[in-house]
Structure 1
Amino acid sequence: MADVLTLDGIRKSYNVGTPVETEVLHGIDLTMQRGDFLALMGPSGSGKSTLLNIIGLLDRPTGGRLLINGEDTGQLGDSALTHLRGHAIGFVFQYHYLISAFTARENVMMPMLVDRGRPDTAMEQRADELLDRVGLSRWRNNSATNMSGGQQQRVAVARALAMDPDLVLADEPTGNLDTKSADDVFELMREINRERGTTFLLVTHNDDLAARCDRIVRVVDGRIAG
């Protein structure tokens, strides 16, 4: 099975070349294959957020190699990285970051609009298909503010899938939800993972949710524990 994500000796330092240079990631090795559903755990300050930013191509490592679908991202310029991030990676955050004045459909269309520049019928159809998949067909014309927290996060999941990414990075996606809504959103991601083979990397502090993932990776003091 093909590797979607490969981290080979990833290091990250801040204030490089100064007397206060600090290394926060100390040689991270990690591989994820298509269809994996992995929980990333670790205490605050362990390096999880830094690692997630690097995997999401929002920041560059200072050492090691990061491959997405076998492509060495260290060889790419900024525009190529932006294109790869937009097409290969979807993001779900703890806060949904929906545009409040937009409808659910318009929010789901946003990644496609950014990529193509103008709306078209195919985008609307794609957004409607995804909203149907996350159980929100009836709410597609609702503004984001006229939805519950759980519904808003479902829209965020649909938006993350708009470009049919190989990898979805979910950073505490259930952290702001009540227990029932959190369970529903987790199960939705799990179903999409099984149906579509989409790879999910889930950052969570919830031991119960992590136990329902295929694998748990723990980061402690900038290293993979165990």
Structure 2
Amino acid sequence: MNHLLERLKELVQDNFYTRGFKKNLHYNLYPEDILKETPKEFFKGVFRVFLLFLGTYVVFNLLVSLTNAAYLLEYGDRMKELYDQGKVSFTLYLMNSFPNSIFMLAVLFLIFQFYFASFSYLALWVLGEEGRSYRRILGIAFSTSLYVLLAFYPILILFNVTPNSFKKDPFSMVLFLSLNGIFFFGAIILESVFYVRMCRRVFGQNLGRALITWFLPFFSFATFIISNL
């Protein structure tokens, strides 16, 4: 029995997930080590870790959603009726139907990293950074966004285990949203800090230039959303 417990302890401490997370965290804490690898090697390493956790999230989301499958399927049927009537777009239908919404979220989150890295690379180009590399900035985007992805796990659990009656009470609803906000915005802050830190070390930027490199994608995205409201 003790041998089995020790074996389980070893598996918990050393597996694909822990090794991937530790490797990713090492890049965040010691960005200068990124320069010891080729841009391709760095990108492939962090991209694999990202896909590992993203794929796991999709499976985890599907399993957790099964506890509320009846409601999700009923809601999806209503959205299908609205789509057939031409009242909602196909994209909106996919975003609100199970299990399409789960896969769409994963795909959009993946695409967003390419968008973010592309605008950051544009900032590097405009600022005239000689050591700029698209693969490295793309790797930085995937590496730092892992924390936002990890925040989706507790948020998903909260949304599925919290009773509907709890959400209807104003005070409880504020508490519910606050807990979700702590996870999400905490992850955003952590992502931003590491993103700026990695840009400074990898591309030799000062704080101001690194902030511009990080901020341009956010500014462009916010401008696009506001202009289409």
TM-score category, normalised to shorter length: under 0.3
Which structure has the bigger radius of gyration?
A: 2
Q: Which has the higher strand share?
A: 1
TM-score by length of 1: 0.28
